[in-house]
């Protein structure tokens, strides 16, 4: 019998779903528990110990390598986002929501996973050197 284990625990249901979708896409069967309760009332997160991602013990190594690859992709996406300001030539450039950059990346990933691109049109760069937006 294959043993089912708790692979990872998340305090953010969105992050849990991203990881779950990524593993499902790769053909690894997994499921979340306590997800709905936490989505409805985030205050329960601590009490329940977070959203738990379960999968077969035999898939643990595969899951780890898949998620490792995924992290690399996220980093590349971040690097590709680096542009040069056409106004002053500075490379100190980022998305307008730079202060919420982590959330911005999550939003992009969710959009990609859902195969919709609601934020694509809002892709605006901001130069931190001269405040120029392009
Ligand atoms: Zn500039």
| pLDDT tens profile 31-47 | 999 887 767 777 776 67
Is there a domain that residue 90 lies in?
yes
Which of 74, 102, 117 lies at the terminal end of a domain, its last residue?
74
Domain total in the chain: 2
Residues pairing with 126 in the sheet:
94, 133
Cβ–Cβ < 8 Å for 108, 118? no
Q: What is the pLDDT of residues 48-64, one digit of tens each?
A: 778 899 999 999 999 99
Is there a domain that residue 132 lies in?
no
Q: Which domain holds residue 95?
A: 79-127
8 lies in the same domain as 69: yes
Which of 57, 74, 91 lies at the terminal end of a domain, its last residue?
74
Is there a domain that residue 34 lies in?
yes
Give the whole-angstrom CA distance, residue 51 versus residue 15: 10
Which of 74, 93, 109 lies at the terminal end of a domain, its last residue?
74
Residue list, CB under 5 A from ion ligand 1: 85, 87-88, 90, 127, 129-130, 132
Distance from the CA of 83 to the center of ligand 1, in angstroms?
10
Distance from the CA of 72 to the center of ligand 1, in angstroms?
28
Which uninterrupted H or E stretch holds 49? Answer: none
* pTM given for the model: 0.50
Is there a domain that residue 134 lies in?
no
Distance from the CA of 89 to the center of ligand 1, in angstroms?
6
């Amino acid at each position: 019998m294959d043993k089912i284990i708790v692979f990872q625990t998340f305090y953010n249901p969105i992050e849990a779903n991203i990881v779950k979708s990524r593993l499902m896409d790769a053909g690894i069967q997994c499921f979340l528990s306590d997800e709905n309760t936490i989505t409805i009332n985030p205050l329960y997160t601590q009490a329940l110990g977070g959203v738990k991602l379960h999968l077969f013990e035999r898939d643990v190594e595969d899951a780890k390598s898949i998620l490792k690859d995924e992290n690399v992709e996220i980093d590349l996406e971040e690097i590709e986002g680096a542009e040069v300001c056409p106004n002053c030539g500075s490379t100190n450039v980022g998305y307008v929501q730079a202060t919420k950059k982590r959330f911005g990346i999550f939003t992009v990933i969710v959009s990609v996973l859902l195969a919709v691109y609601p934020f694509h049109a809002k892709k605006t760069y901001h130069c931190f050197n001269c405040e120029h937006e392009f």
